[in-house]
Structure 1
Amino acid sequence: MRKTLHKWHAYGALLALIPMLLISLTGSILVFKAEIDNLLMPEKLQVNVAKTADRLPLDTLIDSVKNAHPNFEVGTWEIFDDKQRSDAAYIIQHKSSDWFKVYVNQYTGDLLSKPVGLNSDFTDWLLDLHFTLLMHNAGIIIGFVVACILLFLALSGLIIYRKFWQRFLTLRWQGAKRILFSDMHKMVGIVASPILLILSITGGYWNAAELLHENTEHAHDQIPTQVAPRYDKQLSIQHLHDKAKTLISEFTPTYLVLPYEDEMQITFFGDVPTFNPLNSEYASTITFDSQTGEWVHQQDVRDNTTGAVIIDSFRKLHFGDFAGLLSKLVWSTLGLSPLLLGFTGCYLFYKTRRMKTQSKHNRRKLHSSNAQISG
């Protein structure tokens, strides 16, 4: 059984090697997406205003985007109020399904960039490469398969090397290269396996969820013909924002979704203080009717089911930002482990195959010599 599992472990790794290495490398970089963005695009992301500065009303900010870009409608909006990071408005071009992003100074109303494609910025392009391999739905399918294989590799590795503690910290430097690489493969694999299990489960879930969403909700969609807001223009989005803060105790809105498809409503995602470090900043939601502004639904993560809380935790578990810089460093470092595991694993696979071939050749040669002597 162990021998068969070892064989499937090797074949699975070889099958998924290239996309897995690409996903691993990009994922480790994306752990520091916010820091990289601030370094590369300070003029777009940094506002650096006084601590006493107040945000302008969302209605004013939305109007500023609309006035500057009349051929677009606002679809969603990232909300920040830390006096440092700018807001980001996600806008849809009229009579199309093309989305763009524009950065906005939420304290002055100034637009800090022109509309750019969702994958135009370096880290956004890197995120697309990580999630879809730049192959759209086909890449998402490949990513899901790779996540399943990575899950199998992590589990099978734990089973194969279940007695790892006997030589866990042993690296036989004086031995043959094959022995050293075997020790390294086991050590790194065991250390990284908990993180790899988390990444494979969370990543695989998001791939599956995206495929299900695309195939059920958008399978027969026509190109949108939106040329005006899909909500009553008399509604004050800022009023709904302020109302949302009163409906859920200590609710801080972080993301606004305006109706950009038929039958959508106005929804605020937000953060609430909890004792769970894995709750995301989008864990709670409040929804209002897009025509009347009446309350429709709310979801407080503190009252959610265990399943909903676990799924929400996938965001922080996948990106490793639940414990600040420390968890990011751990996730980024161990997220690179498939590169070392792939290199050492390929070497061990090659050496094992070569040794088996050489052994078979020696047996044939010996058999031939014995036959000649007998003859």
Structure 2
Amino acid sequence: MTRTDKLAYSLHRIFGLVGGLFLLMLSLTGCILLFDIVIDGWLNPGLVTVSAPANAARQPYDAAVQTLQRQFPAGGLRNLNLYPAVPNRALRADVNQGRERLWAYVDPYTGHFLGQRNMENAFVRQVRNLHEHLLAPPVGDWILLLVGISFVGSVLTGTWYYRKSLLSVFSVGVRWNKPKRIVYGDLHKYLGVAALLFLLIMGATGTFFHWEKTVDRAFGEGRPRGPRPEPVALTLTTSVDALLAKSSASVPGFVAEVISFPEKPDGPLVVRGNGADANPFYGKFTAATEFDTKTGALTKVFNANNEDAEYKFEHINEELHYGRFGGLVSKTIYFILSLAMTIVTATGLLIWWGKR
């Protein structure tokens, strides 16, 4: 073993130990987040899901907005999530009620109010906060930056150390009849090589996100950001459905996903979604329209295809990290690879424990 190989192995162990326990948590919470909408529906069937009558049309969205205005006359309506591709999903509004942030639900077929809950207490929301901030921003963001750097370092040093026998792991396989330490080593190498590209993508994109949240935000131009303004009580003088129709006329093939209401009295109403030319690697929403809430005039049309390289790079990183770009197919592949990442991390820790 050369000096370089010894150094690579030592660094591989150090990087693995620094990030190991965090990576177990990140891979497991990542598996949950891949299917957060489905899981949230399972956990809250009477609130989040509705019966979709056969061939029934949705009520006008104005009816849902009016229901929410009656339910929260002094509340600040932030967003209305439409879920157009999920027939049995209730409309979900993000509402500020005093200091409390709520998720409120409306049946899209009847316009009836279904109920509300504290957004921060929702299981999928807590999982996301744990995955992205360790439940403690900004300290958690700095810790996860270190974890991301360690993860990338672990993948690169492991690849270097095993470079001469990288592909031979597939011919050797996992020797289940051997002692545990050999089984752990075989699993660690086999799944590590099989999921090598995925591991590198997860580490690199995760590090990029937390670099932006920490170093870039602390020292970059125009940062740190201040708190968001409180949303104002909604006083629309124009039909939401009319604005959605204008959006469809302005963006070919437009499918609205979210309506974002003004955060200040003179702010715009924004309809976010995707057009016929949507590139799934450019984000969840690749098109948007902005409107003056008093006149209903269209003031801006956004298309991610026309944005600069920095915008596209950031959103490609995001889609690669969360695996949304290919719908159910990419999410299922990411789920399997995330489980592989869990086993790679766990076996690495077991190998260290056996040699300590």
The two structures share one fold, judged by TM-score above 0.5: yes
- CA deviations on 1:48-93 (whole Å, 9 max, x unpaired) are 3335433333333222112112231211111123432111100112
Pick from 319, 322, 339 the counterpart of residue 322 of structure 2: 319
C-alpha distance 210-92 of structure 1, shift in aligned 2 (>3 A)? farther
Cα RMSD between the aligned structures? 3.0
Aligned residue for 2:114, secondary structure, equals coil
Q: Which residue pairs with 1:142 in the alignment? A: 143
Helix, strand or coil at the partner of 1:84: coil
Q: Secondary structure at the match of 2:128?
A: helix
Q: In structure 1, which of residues 315, 327, 334 is the aligned counterpart of residue 337 of structure 2?
A: 334
Q: How does 1:88-107 map to 2 (within 5 A)?
A: 88-94=92-98, 96=99, 98-107=100-109
Alignment of 1:199-210 (within 5 A): 199-210=202-213
Distance 1:167 1:47 in 2: 49
Q: Deviations over 1:141-179 (max 9, x none)?
A: 222322222222223322222231133331345555444
CA distance change for structure 1 residues 349 and 218 in 2, over 3 Å: closer, same or farther?
closer
Q: SS where residue 108 of structure 2 aligns?
A: coil
8 Å CA contact 1:79–1:87 kept in 2: the answer is: yes
Name the CA distance, whole Å, in 1 between partners of 2:217 and 2:272: 19
Q: What is the Cα deviation at residue 352 of structure 1?
A: 4.3
Change beyond 3 A, Cα 1:62–1:29: same
Which residue is 2:244 aligned to?
Answer: 241
- Mark the CA change 1:269 to 1:345 in structure 2 (over 3 Å): closer, same or farther: same
> Distance in 2 between the 1:217 and 1:53 partners?
48
In structure 2, what residue type is equivalent to 1:132?
H
Deviations 1:200-223 (A, max 9, x none): 333334444455679957755497
Show the counterpart of 1:153.
154
* Residue 112 (structure 2) aligns with: 110
Change (3 A) 1:285 1:153: farther
Query: Structure 1 runs of 4+ off > 6 angstroms?
Result: none
Cα distance change of structure 1 residues 342 and 293 upon mapping to structure 2, 3 Å threshold: same
The aligned runs of 1:60-209 (5 Å cut-off) are 60-82=63-85, 83-94=87-98, 96=99, 98-114=100-116, 116-163=117-164, 164-170=166-172, 171-173=174-176, 175-209=178-212
User: What's the CA shift string for 1:235-273, capped at 9, x where partnerless?
Assistant: 333222211111111111101111225774221111123
Report matched runs for 1:298-309 at 5 Å.
298-305=301-308, 307-309=310-312
Q: Which of 23, 27, 33 is 1:24 aligned to?
A: 27
Partner letter of residue 167 of structure 1? Answer: V
Distance 2:304 2:84 in 1: 21
TM-score, normalized by length of structure 1?
0.80
Greater relative CO, 1 or 2 (CA 8 Å, sep 6+): 2
Deviations 1:273-321 (A, max 9, x none): 3485545441212222345443333222344455544433445433334
Larger Rg: 1
Which is worse superposed, 249-258 or 272-281? Answer: 272-281
User: Is 2:257 the counterpart of 1:254?
Assistant: yes
1:344 corresponds to which of 325, 343, 347: 347
Any unmatched runs of 5+ in structure 1?
354-375
Alignment-derived partner of residue 228 in structure 1 = 233
Alignment size in residue pairs = 347
Q: SS at the partner of 1:113?
A: strand
Following the alignment from structure 2 to structure 1, what is the Cα–Cα distance between the partners of residues 228 and 332?
A: 44
Overall identity of the aligned pairs, in %: 25
The answer as to whether partners of 2:280 and 2:325 remain within 8 angstroms in 1 is yes
Q: Residues 283 and 219 from structure 1, CA distance in 2 versus in 1: closer, same or farther, beyond 3 angstroms?
A: closer
Match in the other structure for 1:268: 271
Q: Structure 1: which amino acid aligns with 2:339? A: L
For 1:18 and 1:254, how far apart are their aligned partners in 2?
A: 36
Given that 2:73 and 2:233 are in contact with CA atoms closer than 8 Å, whether structure 1 keeps it comes out as no
Q: 1:288 maps to what in 2?
A: 291
